[in-house]
Chains A and B, each alone.
Chain A
Amino acid sequence: MNNNHKMVKRFGIGLCLLVASTITYAETATTNYQVSTVVNKLKFPWSLAFLPNNDMLVSERGGSLRMIRDGKLLEQKITGLPEIYVRGPAGLFDVVLDPNFSSNQKLYISYSGGSADNNYVEVISATLQDMALKQTKVIFTGSPRNTPHHHGARMAFLPDDTLLITAGDGFNMRDQAQSLDSMLGKVLRINTDGSIPADNPFIGEKGIRPEIYTYGHRNPQAILISKSNKIWLHEHGPKGGDELNLLKPGLNYGWPAITHGIDYSGAIISPFTEAECMEQPIKYWIPSIAPAGMTEYQGDIFPQWQGNLFIAALAGQSVRRLVLDGNKVIEEEVMLADRNQRIRDIRTGPDGYIYILTDSPQGQLLKLMPKSTVKH
């Protein structure tokens, strides 16, 4: 009886210690960063770019390019955008600065052009002068489609200053992702004047679009070149099967011949998840998180996150922090899930903080910072 009493007492103390340590750990885990709101009232913001003078450019899907200066969203919008086809997920997409922006003020903007029956991803180059785009030139026009869905339309510069552009499969035309005479479902590589780099993987091959860099993609909504010059891309899967891929020129990433997802209707898309000569994703998500933007953290503010990939999740309503060991994802942390916000884009600012765009008609620009630096 006495022994039993002691055992219960010990068990109780042990349990208390366990609960206390769990709470302490959870407190530590949740208090090493905090979120503050930089700007409100962005209408479906899509992409973010940091100018050398600390201003920020934000594209809004509805067709507006906005400027944030001194932490405030300017009422005046950037003028000089081309005509944009806006419907559902189609509209104004990515904005990327030229690697030599400081000297040439050049930037690149992707958007959907055309009409409901015939629309396409288009990219312009332009120079930013005050609040206007000048010297606008169309440098890329993608293959036509008849849906407003799956444009992709993210861009990134390779170290040789060529531009990678992601192009979605257009939803209804998913088979085109495997067709090398179409630019749908591809990553494309061009020079900034719109010409084709002479060392593209399929250059000179008959019946193959020379712009193609990789193929077999569904709806790639983020692409980045890492510090070690790896090309990371993630893409929306259907119902399940969102993928994180490591790109290498000329390779086939499988969609829709192989996939880990099924169609929204519940139908199979392919009975295969792997096949010869088709690349496997580094990571895939079931159920879908609907990945949008992505950044590789290389700032000084969060030294513990050096080299981690941060992925914005729309349906997942969170940020996913991926810890990598070489080309393997060894850990995934779900962040900001308590905010219940669709996250459209995520970037590392030049100041080392992480900036996040939420996807809503009342979209926000959020700033992720260590808790100790939050000013009250």
Chain B
Amino acid sequence: MVKTSVLFIGISLLATLLVCIVSTQIILAEVQSFGLSVSIPVRLHATMTDLVGLGPILFLIIASGFLIGFIIAKYAYQFIGGNRTAWFIAAGCTTFPLTMYLIQYTMGLTVIASARTPLGLFLITCCCIVSTWIYARLTLNNSNDNKTVQN
């Protein structure tokens, strides 16, 4: 349980890190599209600033989405079966877009600017998929142990 919790927090942090870095690059690409050039020091500074400024809210969004998604993935695998990793990847694939959709539906806006375009949302979702895949791999032994105990 403790190991799973630590892994969950670790994987949420990893997803946050990846999404935050990608997110900054999407925003900087938008700024470049206005005809402004972004140097490497400016890019690095912007990325670091976002890790501090955007990171906390991203972590909340991602971790709460993953929490629900992982619980569903776990029980879906348990009761429906199939490929366990695929269930977790499905969770990674859906939680962030669903959270954005819910925020848009209730507040009428997409709070994470980089997720406002299909390409941006796709890239962020890829980050979540990578993270959930790693989580699924790292928790594979736990899952097998549980199954053995149940048998």
Contacts and interface: CB of A to CB of B under 8 A. Distances in A.
Interface of A: 87-88, 116, 147-149, 171-175, 178, 256-257, 262-272, 275
Interface string B24-57: 1001101101111010001001100110011111
A268 B110 contact: no
B116 interface: yes
B111 to A, nearest CB: 5
Interface of B: 23-24, 27-28, 30-31, 33-36, 38, 42, 45-46, 49-50, 53-58, 108-114, 116
Contacts of A267: 23-24, 27, 50, 53-54, 112-114
13 contacts: A88-B108, A149-B108, A149-B109, A172-B109, A172-B116, A263-B113, A265-B112, A266-B56, A268-B46, A269-B27, A271-B31, A271-B38, A275-B36
A178 B55 CA distance: 27
B113 A265 contact: yes
A178 B112 contact: no
Contacts of A172: 109-110, 116
Contacts of B36: 257, 270, 272, 275
Which of A265, A267, A268, A272 has the most B CB atoms < 10 Å from its CB?
Answer: A267
A268 B30 CA distance: 12
Contacts of B31: 256-257, 270-272
A266 B54 contact: yes
Contacts of B50: 266-268
Contacts of A149: 108-109
B112 to A, nearest CB: 6
Given A149-B109, A263-B113, A265-B53, 14 more contacts: A149-B108, A171-B109, A172-B110, A175-B33, A262-B53, A263-B54, A266-B53, A267-B27, A267-B112, A268-B46, A268-B49, A270-B36, A271-B38, A271-B45
Main secondary structure of the interface of A (DSSP, over half): loop
Contact of B108 (A87, A265, A270): A87
Contacts of A175: 30, 33
Nearest to A258: B36
Contacts of A148: 108
A57 to B, nearest CB: 28
Contacts of B108: 87-88, 116, 147-149, 171
A175 B107 CA distance: 20
Contacts of A147: 108-109
Contacts of A116: 108
A174 B113 CA distance: 9
Nearest to B117: A175
Contacts of A173: 116
Given A175-B33, A257-B34, A262-B53, A268 B27 contact: yes
Nearest to B46: A271
B39 to A, nearest CB: 9
Nearest to B105: A116
A271 B54 contact: no
A148 B111 CA distance: 14
List the 10 closest pairs (A to B, CB-CB), nearest first.
Answer: A266-B53, A257-B34, A267-B54, A271-B46, A148-B108, A266-B54, A147-B108, A171-B109, A270-B31, A178-B34
A257 B34 CA distance: 6
B113 A266 contact: no
A20 to B, nearest CB: 47
